[in-house]
Structure 1
């Protein structure tokens, strides 16, 4: 069985930051990524785009990491949009109900528009 891997890349744009994950956001492989994400300086005008186009699997630990990051971001009144294009990953977002608290976009342009204009989900972070 192949060793599971995860990588995180952070790129700063004019008014937002893109955090790109590659691999499996799962228990046992995300500990270092989780620490790096929590240590991130929150210096952006509009917010964050989490790009999950290269994510192959996510479990409750991965969703927890994203929710905790979102809580940290929301304290500073910044927004998050998540790019998901894979049907399997979209289904996991639906099962976990994370699609009710995070806006899901199909592209960076769509995500950029969401964090600029705002989005209201069916659930708030505090209700989740």
Structure 2
């Protein structure tokens, strides 16, 4: 039986940071990730790409962690793009209408392009 775990790697670029999540973003597995995100100075005043390509499952706790991170970046007047290739994770963002607040893309190239252009969301953070 596979041992469930969650991990995160933050890659610091000049204008943005890429956060690669891996594994199971579930209750009991992500507490250290949440703390690391709160304490990480690399994320201050930078655009952000959240990459979920290697995420195997997300529960409400993991989903909340990603949404809170995206909100934190947006409240700093910085752009965020979220890479999602998994149908289940895509449905979570659609059902919650997060896809109307944050751009959802399927590749890092698309995410970088979003950060380099003006993006107009269907819903603002205030409306959400």
TM-score, normalised by the number of residues in structure 1: 0.87
* Structure 2: 5+ residue stretches without partners: none
Aligned to 2:35: 35
Could you list the per-position Cα deviations for residues 7-30 of structure 1 after superposition, in whole angstroms to 9, with x for gaps in the alignment? Answer: 100111232110000011111111
How far off its partner does 1:67 sit? 2.1
1:83 and 2:86 aligned: no
How far off its partner does 1:58 sit? 1.3
What RMSD, in angstroms, separates the aligned Cα atoms of the two structures? Answer: 1.7
Q: 2-side partners of 1:96 and 1:26: how far apart? A: 18
Moved over 4 A (4+): none
Q: 1:127 to 1:4 in 2, by over 3 A?
A: farther
How far off its partner does 1:53 sit? 0.3
Aligned to 1:11: 11
Q: 1:92 to 1:75 in 2, by over 3 A?
A: closer
How far off its partner does 1:98 sit? 1.9
* Structure 1: 5+ residue stretches without partners: none
TM-score, normalised by the number of residues in structure 2: 0.87
Aligned to 1:48: 48
